[in-house]
Amino acid sequence: MTHLRLTHPDLDFWIDVRLREFDGRWLAVADLADEPEVGLGPSEEQALPGALEAFDPRITDDLGQSAMLLLRH
């Protein structure tokens, strides 16, 4: 499992995201407020947006780019 803590200048909190692979499919879970948001996909890149879709699309794109940079390091 991979754990990421994402931030954005327009948010006054961070988002904890967990990524896990099961039988070739990826699950992304973002802890937001009281309920987690979930994304599924064949890759980390495709699962992550579903877990972040509660935000404005611009913020979602920025968070996704930050997450991908973290995952590649």
The span from the CA of 55 to the CA of 24, in Å, is 27
Q: Stretch 1-21: mean pLDDT, rounded?
A: 93
Q: What is the pLDDT of residue 16?
A: 93
Q: Which amino acid is at 3?
A: H
The span from the CA of 38 to the CA of 41, in Å, is 10
3-state secondary structure the chain: CEEEEECCCCCCCCEEEEEEEECCEEEEEEEECCEEEEEEECCHHHHHHHHHCCCCHHHHHHHHHHHHHHHCC
What confidence tens digit (pLDDT) does each residue in 25-70 have?
999 999 887 789 999 999 998 999 999 988 888 888 899 899 988 8
Residue 8 has pLDDT above 80, yes or no: yes
pTM listed for this prediction:
0.86
